[in-house]
A = this chain, B = another copy of it.
Amino acid sequence: MDKFEIAVIPGDGIGMEVVPAAMRVLDAAADIHGGLSFEWTTFPWNCEYYLKHGTMMPDDGIATLRGFHQIFLGAVGMPNLVPDHVSLWGLLIKIRREMQQSVNVRPAKLLNGLTSPLRNPSAFDLVVVRENSEGEYSDIGGRIHQGSDEMAIQSAVFTRKGTERVMRYAFQLAEKRRKHVTSATKSNGISHSMPFWDEVFRDVLKDYPECATISHHIDALAAFLVMKPHAFDVIVASNLFGDILTDLGGAIMGSIGVAPAANLNVERTYPSMFEPVHGSAPDIAGKGLANPLGQIWTGKMMLDFMGYEELGNLVLDAMEATLAAGVKTGDIGGVSSTSEVTNTIIDYLRRRT
């Protein structure tokens, strides 16, 4: 019996609703499998915690998390209580960096039973592989002068190590899929980091001769995700571009609420963190309306990463069966609550055995 110790951080807003829902699904999946179990330890680190303690997590927070197999996180941010850059850099982005979760994997595909906002959605099935530790998300920079002379400078840092690492991950993933890698660039407008990105891409692709490649500027690529999402297999992107492309990926699936993500420490030296694409959605929090599918699909990615891919696929099947039966939340055209959706998925899972 494999026992996995999982650190749980529901975070803010709907995170507190969808995380427990996904834990129930994962427990049910473990039960059915018989060969694994989860031990969940929940940490109350969020914006409320910040208001009480002045930090998003205790000083030994990172050390504590390092003792777990994986981290299962909901969403962070309550801009009305704490400025976003404070809450995110104090928790979500901090964990991504300190745990060296340098690759963020985010699939987008047309699910059975989901209505895409696209008129003729082709059967797209793509994965965005996002650099997750550097790039445009840097805290290097600051301000100078005051009043009308004031200005802010923000520096992006792209290392060869980080850039190569995410690209190699993308190619290795593509080798197991349809063998096509798209690079998201903007070397026509951004004149140091992006030409560097292109150069590294040209170097790395030589090691994966089986894969076909193409580069698109991010503006065109965003448009292509709307016009012809089926044209993509694996897309490799910088931190910011990956962020934008994956919300778009959620949109063309039918809702950001279903989009899953995995922040991977690919070397497995520290825990990875499984956290959906959507945010804390303060406007609908606490009402039982939140779509749990993004968090549940994210749980499937955790199963995959821990070596239980078959079980992960069962979870996705149960999600699709639930969708096809019309049991869904309001954001995707249904009338069901978070718990009705969750219960139906668990029922489907149990019926499979």
Chain B, Cβ-Cβ closest to A226: B251
**Does A84 reach chain B (CB closer than 8 Å)?**
yes
Interface: A141 (CB within 8 A) = yes
Q: How far is the CA of A164 from the CA of B147 in the complex (A)?
A: 11
Taken together as a complex, chains A and B put the C-alpha atoms of A272 and B4 apart, in Å, by: 62
Q: Which of A111-119, A170-178, A317-325 contacts B (4 or more CB under 8 A)?
A: A111-119
Which B residues are CB-close (under 8 A) to A84? 187-188, 217
Tell yes or no: A299 within 8 A of B by CB. no
**Chain A 210-224, CB within 8 Å of chain B: the 1/0 string?**
000000011110111
Give the docked Cα–Cα distance between A246 and B217 (Å): 13
**Inter-chain contact A154/B156, CB cutoff 8 Å:** yes
Instruction: State whether B187 touches A83 (Cβ < 8 A).
Output: yes
By size class, the interface of chain A is: 35 or more
A97 to B256 Cα, complex, angstroms: 37
A142 to B222 alpha-carbon distance, docked (Å): 27
A275 within 8 A of B: no
Stretch at the interface among A66-74, A193-201, A288-296: A193-201
Interface code A128-156, partner B: CB below 8 Å = 1, 0 otherwise? 00000000111101110001111111111
Q: Is the CB of B279 within 8 A of A251?
A: no
* Known contacts A117-B227, A226-B252, A192 near B160 by CB under 8 Å: no
Say yes or no: B227 contacts A247, CB within 8 Å: no
Residues in A lying within 8 Å of B, measured CB to CB? 77, 83-85, 87-89, 93, 115-120, 136-139, 141-143, 147-161, 164, 186-197, 217-220, 222-224, 226-227, 239-240, 243-244, 246-248, 250-252, 256, 279
Nearest 10 CB-CB pairings of A with B: A84-B188, A141-B192, A152-B196, A154-B193, A223-B251, A219-B247, A226-B251, A223-B247, A151-B159, A150-B160
